[in-house]
Structure 1
C-alpha cells in the first residue's frame, strides 16, 4: 500500500503562487489574432495565396517557423524566438509571424525584443492587445504617461486585462497629476468578484503617493479593516507611511500585532529591526512607476493562482522593467520557473537576490532546493547546512533539508533532520503540527513504528481532527490490525471533513474490509475509485472487496485494471497472483 499518496502535504513543503503554461497571446488580453479553425493559424501569411494554399518558399523558412512552433509547445521560448527571428529575416512583414515572435519574446522574458516587435505587430489586423500592452509598458518606463494611456486604451477589456487595465490606468492617471481620476479608475474592478482587497490596497497606495494625508489615512484604515488587512505588503506600506508622518508609536503597535499573528514574517521582522534602530522605513511605492510595478506584481500573484504561469511571469518582467530593484518580484519570477520545472532558471534568479534583503534567507533555501532538483544533492545539502549555521534559531533550512531526504526516499535521514528542526523549537504551537506529522511519516516509512505513532499522536494533539493526520494514523493502525474501533471513528471523522478525498475514503473502505464488513467496504471503495480512478492501490482494494461479496468477474476486471495503472513493483506479483487464483478464505487481504 502506498501510504505516501495519503500524505498529501505535510505542511512543510513550500507553497507557491503560480502554476503552469506559457502560451500568452490569448491570455494577455484574450487577444489571439487568429482562429483555431483557420488554416491561417497553421501557416503564416507568406505561405498562403488568395485561396489559402501554400506558395513555394525556401524550405528553410518553413522549417524555421514549424520548429519555432514546436519549441513553443515544448515551453522552450528562447529556442522558439531564435527560430522565429530566423524566419523573420526572410519575411519581415508577415503579421502572423510577427505576432508569434512577440509571443515567444514575452514567454522568454525578452521585454526589449518584445518592445521592438510591438510597433510592427500593431500594423496588422485583428486584436493586438498584447502588443499595445507592451507599448504601454514601454511608454510608462519612459514616464510618457500620455502615450501610455493611448496604448493601454487600445487593449481589449477581456481576459486578464479586466484586472490589469484598471490598475495600470490608475497609476498612469496619477502620473498625469489626476488623483481623483486615478482612484476612480479602480471602480472598474467592482464588476468582478474577488478584487476588493486589491482595490483597497491600490487605493491606499495611490493616496499615499499623491501625498493626500487625509485620504491616505482613510484608505489605509479601510484596507486594514477589510480582506487585505492581513497582507504583509499592506502592513509594510502602512508602517512606512506612519513613519514618514511622525507616528512611530503606531508603527510599533502595527508591527507587533502582525508578528503576534505571523511570527515568521521575515519582512516585518526586518522592518521592526529598522524601527528599533531608529532607521527610517522605506516606502514600498514612492512614484507612479513604482506603483505600476506593484500593480503588475499584485496582478501576477493573483492570476498565478489561476494556473496562468506564463502571463504571471510576463507581468513580473514588466514590473522589473519599471522597477529593477524589486526582490519580491524576482522571488515570484523564480517560483514561476520552479513550477515549469526550469530549475536552472530558478537557481539563477534566486542567486541574484541579495542575501541581506528580507527575502535573502528564503532565496538561499529555495536555491538549495533548485540545486537538488538539478541532481546535485550533496551541494544542496551543503547549502542548507550553511543557512542552518547562519541562522541557529531558524528551522526552515532544516525542514527543507529533511524534505530533500524525504524526496530521495531516505526516510531515516529525513526523520533525523525533521528532529533537528523540532529540537530548535522552544515551545510547540499549533502551527508545528506539520513537523510532527512529517517526521511521523518518515519514522513509519523507515520501520520505526513506536516513534511514528508518538509523533502522529503529537500532531493530533497540536491540531485535533486534522483529516490528513487522522487518516494516516488510522490507516496505519488498520494496516497493523490495531485499535480498529478507534481507527474507525477517526476515519469516519476524516471522511466527514474531506468527503471528496479519494484516499481518505479508501482508508475507511479498507477498514471495513479488515473488519469483515464487506458490503460497507464495497460502498466506500466504489466511491473512492470514482474519486481517484487512476490509483492502482484503491482499485486493488475494490477488487478484493468485490471478491469477498461474490462479484468475482468484477473483481478480476479491477485487478487487471490495477495492473494497467502501474502499481508499485512489490505489488505486481501479489495482484497477479490474485488475478490468477483469486482470494482464498484463509488468506488475509494483501495491502
Structure 2
C-alpha cells in the first residue's frame, strides 16, 4: 500500500466509492455520446485516464469549483497515488473547499518532496500554532516564500509566533517587514498595539494604541473595538465610552460598537478580543483575508478565512466573511449554512439573519426569505437594513410596486434625511418609474440628486427618463454631459447622451456617441437598438437593420422585441415624434 493511502485512507475510501460509481457501464460521465455509437447502438466505455482526471481537476479549480476538483484529483490519485503533481492538485482543492484536515494530511507528504512547498509549510505552521508549538511553527514559517500574499501574511504570523516564544519587542519588530510595501501601515499599527495588549505591557500598549488611533487604523472598527475593551479592562470606562461615541458619530449603525455600549449599560463584562498568541494569529489571518477580499481574490480570501477558523473556531466575524466570499462565488447553499451558524447574541446576528434571507431568496424561496426579513424588521424597529434588503429582493424579482412600497417603509423610519440616504430615493425612484408612476419617480430622483449632487448614476437615470419622455431636453443635455465627464467609460451613460442627440435631431452626433456606447456595452439590446435607429436616420439602412437584428439576438423585453421586429419589416417613420 502506498504512503498516501496509509496516511489518508479515509479520504480515499470516499473517493473510491465515488470512482466505482463513476466507472460503471451506466455512467453518463464516462460513456461516449450516441453520435459515436456503432450501428447496433452500443459502444465500449472508456475508463477515465489519469491525465484526463488531472486536466478536469485543473479546469474545475480555474472555475473555482473546489468540490469537483477534489473529486477529480482523488480519482486520479487512485491510479497513481505517489504523483507529486496530483498530490499538489489535491492539496490545493482541499484548501479551496475548506477541508483543512485533508489539506494537513497532504501537506505532511508534500513537505517531504523536493521543490516549492510553501503552502504546505504554512498549513503545518498553523497546525503547530493551534497546539501552542511555537518553535515548530516558526521553523515551518521559515520555509514559506516571501512572494505573493505571503508578503502580508508571513510578517503578521511571525510576529504572533515570536510573541508565543515570549519576546514582545522581537514580535513587534517582525512587523517592520510590512514597511517594504505601501498600504500596510494600518495593519502594522493595529497588530503592534494588540501584541502589547496581549502581553500585558500596559505602558507600551497605551503608547501603541494611541499611535494607531492617530493613523489610518483609527477608522477601523476592529481597532476601536480592541482599544475600547482594553480601556475598560484597565479602569478607563469613560474614555472607552467617549471613543465609542466618537465612532458612532461617523458610523451610527455599527452593530459591533452599539452592542459594546449595550453591554456597558447593562453592566456586562466586555470579553477581550484576543487572549493568546494563537488568537492573535487568527486575527492576523482574518486581517489578511479582509485585505485580499478587497482585491477581489475571493478564493484566496476564503482559504485564509478557513485558516482563521482553524485557529479560532468561535470567530463569528470570520464566519460572516467566509459567507460573503461564498456569496461572491454564487455558492448560496454554503452561504446560507454559514450565516445560520452565527449566534443570536453576536453583534453580527442581525446582519447574518438578513443575509440568510437573501441567500434563501437566491435559492428560490422568496416567501421564506420575506418571512425571515419581516422577523428582523419587527425585532429592530429603528433599523432599515432588513427593509432595504426586502425592497432589493422585490426589485430583483421585478416586483416594482412591492419594491417601491418597501423602500417607502425604510424611508419612513428615518428621523432625518442625510446625504448617505440618496440611494434609498434613487432606488425607490427607479421602482416608481418601472411601475409607470412617473410623477412619484421624478420627485424621488430629484431628491436623490439633492442629497448627492452630481452623482453620475442619478444624473443619468433622471436625464435619460426626461429624454425618453421628450421633456426638459436642454437640462437633460447639461446633466448627461456632466455624467459622461464623470464616467467616460460607462456605456450606459454614453448611450443616454447619444439618445439625447437623437431626440434633438442631431443624428451625426448621435451615431458617434452610440457607436462608442456599443463598443463599451456590446451585449445590451437597448443600446444596439438605439444605434440602429441613428444609423437609419443618417441613411445607413443596412447597418441599421444589422443593429436591430443584433438587438433581437440579445434577448430584449417582449415589448422591445415587437417594436424591433416592426422596424426590421418597415424601417422607421419619417417623423421622430411618431416613434414615441
Give the Cα–Cα distance (whole angstroms) in 2 for the partners of residues 530 and 125 of structure 1: 50
Of 450, 453, 471, 1:482 maps to 471
1:244 aligns with 2:233: yes
Q: Give 1:213-292 correspondences, 5 Å limit.
A: 213-292=202-281
Per-residue CA deviation, residues 218-241 of structure 1 (Å, 9 max, x unaligned), is 222222222222111111011011
Of 114, 122, 140, 2:103 maps to 114
Hey, what does 1:411 align to over in structure 2?
400
Q: Is the 8 A contact 1:239 1:281 kept in 2?
A: no
| Unpaired runs of at least 5, structure 2 | 1-45
1:176 aligns with 2:165: yes
Q: Is the 8 A contact 2:98 2:306 kept in 1?
A: yes
Give the Cα–Cα distance (whole angstroms) in 2 for the partners of residues 353 and 327 of structure 1: 6
Hey, what does 2:425 align to over in structure 1?
436
Q: Is the 8 A contact 2:573 2:579 kept in 1?
A: no
Per-residue CA deviation, residues 8-58 of structure 1 (Å, 9 max, x unaligned), is xxxxxxxxxxxxxxxxxxxxxxxxxxxxxxxxxxxxxxxxxxxxxxxxx98
Hey, what does 2:35 align to over in structure 1?
none
Indicate the larger mover: 315-324 or 90-99.
Answer: 90-99
Hey, what does 2:299 align to over in structure 1?
310
Give the Cα–Cα distance (whole angstroms) in 2 for the partners of residues 510 and 578 of structure 1: 17
Of 147, 153, 160, 1:164 maps to 153
Per-residue CA deviation, residues 123-160 of structure 1 (Å, 9 max, x unaligned), is 22321111111111111111111111111111111111
Q: Is the 8 A contact 1:544 1:589 kept in 2?
A: no
Looking at both structures, which has the greater relative contact order when contacts are Cα pairs under 8 Å and sequence separation is at least 6? 1
The CA deviation at 1:196 is: 1.8
Q: Is the 8 A contact 1:574 1:590 kept in 2?
A: no
Hey, what does 2:379 align to over in structure 1?
390
Hey, what does 2:197 align to over in structure 1?
208
The CA deviation at 1:60 is: 7.0
Indicate the larger mover: 514-523 or 473-482.
Answer: 514-523
Indicate the larger mover: 323-332 or 213-222.
Answer: 213-222
Hey, what does 1:20 align to over in structure 2?
none
Indicate the larger mover: 342-351 or 217-226.
Answer: 217-226
Q: Is the 8 A contact 2:489 2:520 kept in 1?
A: yes
1:364 aligns with 2:356: no
Of 287, 295, 303, 1:298 maps to 287
Hey, what does 2:324 align to over in structure 1?
335
Hey, what does 1:43 align to over in structure 2?
none
Give the Cα–Cα distance (whole angstroms) in 2 for the partners of residues 471 and 587 of structure 1: 22
The CA deviation at 1:183 is: 1.6
Question: Structure 2 length as normaliser, TM-score?
Answer: 0.88
The CA deviation at 1:416 is: 0.9
Q: Is the 8 A contact 2:503 2:576 kept in 1?
A: no
1:126 aligns with 2:154: no
Per-residue CA deviation, residues 429-461 of structure 1 (Å, 9 max, x unaligned), is 221111111111111111111111111112122
Give the Cα–Cα distance (whole angstroms) in 2 for the partners of residues 250 and 528 of structure 1: 55
Hey, what does 1:321 align to over in structure 2?
310
1:559 aligns with 2:568: no
Give the Cα–Cα distance (whole angstroms) in 2 for the partners of residues 235 and 575 of structure 1: 58
Indicate the larger mover: 413-422 or 519-528.
Answer: 519-528
Indicate the larger mover: 278-287 or 478-487.
Answer: 278-287
Of 117, 123, 127, 1:138 maps to 127
Indicate the larger mover: 496-505 or 170-179.
Answer: 496-505
Give the Cα–Cα distance (whole angstroms) in 1 for the partners of residues 53 and 576 of structure 2: 63
Give the Cα–Cα distance (whole angstroms) in 1 for the partners of residues 211 and 109 of structure 2: 45
Hey, what does 1:78 align to over in structure 2?
67
Give the Cα–Cα distance (whole angstroms) in 2 for the partners of residues 489 and 59 of structure 1: 64
Per-residue CA deviation, residues 234-270 of structure 1 (Å, 9 max, x unaligned), is 1101101111222111111111111011100010001
> CA 1:90–1:528 in structure 2 vs 1: closer, same or farther (change >3 Å)?
closer
The CA deviation at 1:413 is: 0.8
> CA 1:58–1:434 in structure 2 vs 1: closer, same or farther (change >3 Å)?
closer
Give the Cα–Cα distance (whole angstroms) in 1 for the partners of residues 72 and 506 of structure 2: 63
Give the Cα–Cα distance (whole angstroms) in 1 for the partners of residues 60 and 118 of structure 2: 23
Give the Cα–Cα distance (whole angstroms) in 1 for the partners of residues 61 and 578 of structure 2: 49
1:104 aligns with 2:78: no
Q: Is the 8 A contact 1:393 1:424 kept in 2?
A: yes
Indicate the larger mover: 210-219 or 85-94.
Answer: 85-94
Give the Cα–Cα distance (whole angstroms) in 2 for the partners of residues 306 and 291 of structure 1: 23
- Report SS of the residue matched to 2:262: helix
How many residues align structurally?
Answer: 535
The CA deviation at 1:575 is: 2.7
| Unpaired runs of at least 5, structure 1 | 1-56
Question: Structure 1 length as normaliser, TM-score?
Answer: 0.86
1:460 aligns with 2:449: yes
Q: Is the 8 A contact 1:355 1:363 kept in 2?
A: no
The CA deviation at 1:540 is: 2.1
- Report SS of the residue matched to 2:313: coil
> CA 1:492–1:339 in structure 2 vs 1: closer, same or farther (change >3 Å)?
same
